[in-house]
């Protein structure tokens, strides 16, 4: 059976993981090439993964023979343009979230993929996590009844350096962190978010406000069929990497994430009473691999993506509404 030839654009931390998985753990794929705006980084990753082709731009990689699909893992601001170029070249696409940093660019990228009739998947890897996947199957089976309340939290251990904000090539907290929870909310409640109300703080790191960002947020959600929700995001929780979700329904509830039988769990930068995760790549290692295997399998077997460009646009619309709510201090309707 023919293997799918894949090129990875952007081989920083996230892109390198995708490249490693494709090279070593996805049997139906062949990692043909990598590309990065820092060409020396692309050359180094190519050498370490023992592949011949590395490039300094997407345009150059698109000319490479044998590249059937592109995985986009550049900084956020470059996602939409990369999707548009790859689509015009007729390549299948997996684009990391967010699809773009504004709705106009996202719509343009989606239109390009539709125009050129290419396979287009957005990287919401939590859907592939074994725990989230198992929970969703039970929700779909009706075990908790009608979803009533959605609650989710995502806390990173350490905030990014100020240079991350200076670059202006990454989205604010809603686009980089909370967008995973926005996608989960739509997916697990099986309904669209219609209104949001965001509360934010940068009290522990006020310097990020000059770049239009925040350190932590709480976003209240209202769904079209009557459910409600709440999402907390925190860029520097100090104690570890913490992701948990709960869906309460008319017949019961499902909780996803760490649960301890002790009556109280104490968490500090010096440690905790039980082992806790400290990084997203280790926490969701299985999810990233399952996501990539699904991407390759669906293309080779001519099946539609399970996580579509439409899903990327809808989650982005919630993030944009949350940003507007943050700026205007009011409830905002979600418009995709």
The confidence score (pLDDT) of residue 336 equals 84
Residues of the chain with CATH 3.40.50.720: 4-125+287-307
Gap between the Cα atoms of 74 and 86, Å rounded: 13
- Measured CA to CA, the distance from residue 331 to residue 41 in angstroms comes to 44
Tokens encoding 37: 């705006």
Q: How far apart are CA 50 and CA 35, in angstroms?
A: 14
Q: 10 Å Cβ neighbour count for 260?
A: 11
Torsion angle in degrees (nearest 10) through CA of 281, 187, 254, 128: -30
d(CA 157, CA 154): 10
Contact by Cβ (8 Å): 22, 3: no
Percentage of the chain beyond pLDDT 70 is 93
Q: What is the pLDDT of residue 282?
A: 77
Beta-carbon neighbour count of residue 273 at 10 Å? Answer: 11
How far apart are alpha carbons 59 and 18 in whole angstroms?
A: 20
Domain 127-283+315-333 annotated CATH 3.30.360.10: yes
The torsion angles phi and psi of 134, rounded to 5 degrees, stand at -65, -40
242-249 vs 147-155, strand pairing mode = antiparallel
Give the pLDDT score at 283.
81
SS3 for 223-237 is ECCCCEEEEEEECCC
pLDDT tens digit sequence for 62-111: 999 999 999 999 999 999 999 999 999 999 999 999 999 999 999 999 99
* Whether residue 261 has pLDDT greater than 60: no
- Stretch among 184-188, 214-218, 225-229, 254-258 having the lowest mean pLDDT: 254-258
Please say whether the dihedral angle defined by the alpha carbons of residues 188, 189, 190 and 194, taken in this order, is positive or negative: negative
CATH 3.30.360.10 domain locations along the chain: 127-283+315-333
* Domain 4-125+287-307 architecture: 3-Layer(aba) Sandwich (3.40)
Within 10 angstroms of residue 63's Cβ, the number of other Cβ atoms is 10
**Model confidence pLDDT, tens digit, residues 262-287:** 343 444 455 544 555 666 777 889 99
Token couple for 51: 């592949």
Q: What is the pLDDT of residues 31-66, one digit of tens each?
A: 999 999 999 999 999 999 999 999 999 999 999 999
The total of other beta-carbon atoms located within 10 Å of residue 175's CB is 24
Q: Where are the beta strands (DSSP E) in 164-306?
A: 193-201, 216-223, 228-234, 242-249, 253-256, 267-268, 271-272
Which residue, chain included where needed, has tokens 């509830």? 253
Give this prediction's pTM.
0.93
């Amino acid at each position: 059976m023919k293997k799918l030839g894949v090129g990875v654009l952007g081989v920083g931390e996230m892109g390198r993981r995708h490249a490693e998985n494709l090279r070593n753990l996805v049997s139906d794929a062949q990692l043909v090439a990598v590309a990065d705006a820092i060409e020396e980084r692309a050359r180094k990753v190519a050498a370490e993964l023992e592949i011949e082709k590395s490039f300094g731009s997407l345009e150059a990689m698109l000319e490479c023979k044998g590249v059937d699909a592109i995985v986009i893992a550049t900084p956020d601001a470059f996602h939409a343009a990369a999707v548009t170029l790859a689509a015009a070249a007729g390549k299948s696409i997996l684009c990391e979230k967010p699809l773009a940093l504004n709705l106009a660019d996202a719509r343009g990228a989606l239109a390009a993929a539709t125009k050129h009739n290419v396979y287009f998947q957005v990287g919401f890897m939590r859907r592939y996590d074994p725990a989230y996947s198992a929970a969703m199957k039970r929700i779909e089976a009706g075990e908790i009844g009608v979803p009533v309340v959605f609650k989710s939290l995502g806390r990173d251990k350490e905030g990014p350096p100020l240079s991350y904000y200076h670059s202006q090539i990454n989205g604010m907290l809603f686009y980089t962190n909370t967008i995973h929870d926005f996608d989960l909310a739509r997916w697990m409640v099986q309904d669209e978010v219609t209104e949001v109300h965001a509360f934010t703080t940068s009290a522990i790191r006020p310097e990020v406000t000059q770049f239009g960002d925040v350190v932590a947020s709480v976003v209240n959600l209202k769904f079209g069929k009557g459910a409600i929700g709440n999402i907390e995001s925190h860029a520097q929780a100090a104690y570890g990497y913490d992701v948990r979700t709960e869906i309460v329904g008319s017949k019961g509830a499902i909780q996803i994430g760490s649960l301890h039988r002790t009556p109280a769990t104490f968490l500090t930068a010096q440690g905790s009473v039980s082992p806790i995760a400290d990084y997203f790549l280790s926490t969701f290692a299985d999810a990233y691999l399952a996501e990539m295997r699904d991407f390759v399998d669906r293309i080779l077997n001519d099946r539609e993506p399970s996580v579509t460009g439409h899903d990327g646009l809808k989650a982005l619309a919630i993030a944009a509404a949350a940003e507007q709510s943050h700026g205007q201090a009011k409830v905002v309707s979600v418009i995709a």
